[in-house]
Amino acid sequence: MTHDAALAGLKTLLGNRLVTSDADRALHGQNETWFPNTPPEAVAYPETTQEVAQIVALCNTHRCPVTAYGAASSLEGQHLAARGGISLDMNRMNRVLDVRAEDLNAVVQPGITRIALNEDLRTTGLFFPVDPGADASIGGMAATRASGTTAVRYGTMRENILALEAVMADGTVIRTGSDARKSSTGYDLTHLLIGSEGTLGIITELTLRLQGIPEAMSAATCRFATVEDAVNCVILTIQSGLPMARIELLDEVMVRGFNLYSDAGLPELPHLFLEFHGSPAAVAEQAEAFGDIAADFGADAFRTATTTEDRNALWAMRHNAHYASGALGKGKRIMATDVCVPISKLAKAVTQAQSDAQRLGLTAPIVGHVGDGNFHCGVSVDPNDPDEKARVETFTGALAETALRLGGTVSGEHGIGLGKMKYMTAEHGPALPIMRAIKAALDPNDILNPGKMLPPGNQ
């Protein structure tokens, strides 16, 4: 199905900011993971909320799909125009509109990336803490309910957005939330939109909570004989209420990837990467308390990094985990998957994943935000090898099943997109028809990122 009438109307509206070249379409069909290139019919580059509203209203009239596009760093195909229509490229709406240092918040457009935002904030003494690794767009991070290395301390996108402006399916512009830190008036549309993956509305403005840059920060690494020791150390640390700023697990396979990609020179044993934030005294107290716990689990080579350079080098290495996974499977694609379980079940989930990978003959390094019970596997897969593809499918299915059996969720932060729709019934059961009813009520023509999140089924 093509959408000529919609595209003609959009051309009139946007002129040369509606692009139909093969190159631009192919670019917008790319993804970081294993989905085939999925070009949209056209790419629209709005510059204002008003334009987004006009575009969406026009597409609604002509039943033309609209899929929002930011930094294209989503890992479950959320930004791909799976049912054709237009890619709504938000990158021209990338300004910081207001920084209200006295209220610890900022108003931004969705196309700004988290690194650009923090550059902009640098002189204020404040920062936006959510850090998914990739330099994702803030709009995309909101739409996928992203989190990352610092969620254990500062929360996910869910906890760090005060208010939104969004364009709904008929082109109506709404504002959700307020500039106050809390409210009990009306349905929580802010949280309904966060994590809705562009299927309920297009986010056009965000009011974000900011944090004061801590007076002191120090990072550390240590290694363990077994992944159980490392994970049990994490569990006790969290249970003790230590306000860790970051606590990341790397299993021995992931460490090998870091050695290959970043020349890390680390012994191929499970590691924890840590960060402490606070006053100088608090940071020292936390590091000492953590060291005591870690020692009980036989931690070795506890090293701290207090200079900014050393810390940055450590987290740059961590943030390249996706590419380090790639280094383990030269010439292959990386199927990046994540799950999240209650912290008490973390050791069980991680060791189950390791043994599943071994049994299936797969390279599946594990790295994770283990303070939240969240971990990732970056499985190497040759898209031209049907047998390996089938084994990867078996692995990810087993991982999802493990997470659900242990009371967890099939995704802690990557979301559903195209890749995980098949688990929605198992995870949500009778709540899934409620989600479908909301989708049908708010987007009756199914134009907003159709074919994502909600698997086909009866309304």
CB of 82 to a copy of itself, least distance (A): 17
| Angle between helix 49-61 and 4-14 (nearest 10) | 160
Closer Cβ to a copy of itself, 95 or 175, answer by number:
175
The CA distance from 294 to 235, in Å, is 11
Lookup: tokens for 410: 């099939």
Query: Which one among 413, 419, 447, 449 touches a copy of itself, defined by CB under 8 A?
Result: 413
CB of 315 to a copy of itself, least distance (A): 20
Give burial (CB, 10 Å; 0-12/13-18/19+) of 22.
exposed
Stretch that binds a copy of itself, among 26-34, 64-72, 267-275, 400-408 (CB under 8 A): 400-408
Stretch that binds a copy of itself, among 23-31, 260-268, 304-312, 429-437 (CB under 8 A): 429-437
Side-chain half-sphere CA neighbours of 409 within 13 A? 11
Quick check: 194 binds a copy of itself (CB under 8 A)? yes
CB of 53 to a copy of itself, least distance (A): 11
Instruction: Determine contact, residues 71/28, Cβ cutoff 8 Å.
Output: no
Residue list 276-315, contact with a copy of itself (CB under 8 A): 279, 281-282, 285
Query: Which one among 113, 156, 218, 337 touches a copy of itself, defined by CB under 8 A?
Result: 156
Beta bridge partners of 211: 127
Lookup: tokens for 379: 């499985």
Closer Cβ to a copy of itself, 357 or 370, answer by number:
370
The dihedral over CA atoms of 239, 258, 351, 417, expressed in degrees to the nearest 10, equals 90
The CA distance from 230 to 249, in Å, is 8
Closer Cβ to a copy of itself, 71 or 403, answer by number:
403
In this structure, the number of other CB atoms found within 10 A of the CB of residue 192 comes to: 16
Quick check: 37 binds a copy of itself (CB under 8 A)? no
Task: Give the N- to C-terminal CA distance of the chain in Å, as an integer.
Answer: 23
Instruction: Determine contact, residues 206/138, Cβ cutoff 8 Å.
Output: yes
Closer Cβ to a copy of itself, 43 or 141, answer by number:
141
User: What DSSP string runs through 329-355?
Assistant: STT-EEEEEEEE--GGGHHHHHHHHHH
Quick check: 153 binds a copy of itself (CB under 8 A)? no
Quick check: 145 binds a copy of itself (CB under 8 A)? yes
Query: Which one among 416, 418, 447, 448 touches a copy of itself, defined by CB under 8 A?
Result: 416
Quick check: 424 binds a copy of itself (CB under 8 A)? yes
Side-chain half-sphere CA neighbours of 70 within 13 A? 28
Quick check: 267 binds a copy of itself (CB under 8 A)? no
Please give the radius of gyration of the chain, using alpha carbons only, rounded to the nearest integer: 22
The CA distance from 34 to 25, in Å, is 18
CB of 115 to a copy of itself, least distance (A): 21
Quick check: 175 binds a copy of itself (CB under 8 A)? yes
Query: Which one among 172, 307, 312, 358 touches a copy of itself, defined by CB under 8 A?
Result: 172
The CA distance from 286 to 218, in Å, is 10
Query: Which one among 6, 203, 341, 418 touches a copy of itself, defined by CB under 8 A?
Result: 341
Residue list 352-381, contact with a copy of itself (CB under 8 A): 372-374
Query: Which one among 267, 342, 361, 457 touches a copy of itself, defined by CB under 8 A?
Result: 342
Closer Cβ to a copy of itself, 241 or 265, answer by number:
241
Stretch that binds a copy of itself, among 41-49, 249-257, 387-395, 413-421 (CB under 8 A): 413-421
Beta strands in 45-95 (DSSP E): 66-69, 86-89
Cα-to-chain-centroid distance, residue 55: 27
Residue list 91-130, contact with a copy of itself (CB under 8 A): 100-105
Quick check: 200 binds a copy of itself (CB under 8 A)? yes
Quick check: 202 binds a copy of itself (CB under 8 A)? no
Total number of residues that touch a copy of itself (CB under 8 A):
89
Which residues lie closer than 8 Å to 106 by C-beta, 6 or more apart? 96, 98, 99, 100, 117, 121, 126, 128, 207, 208, 210
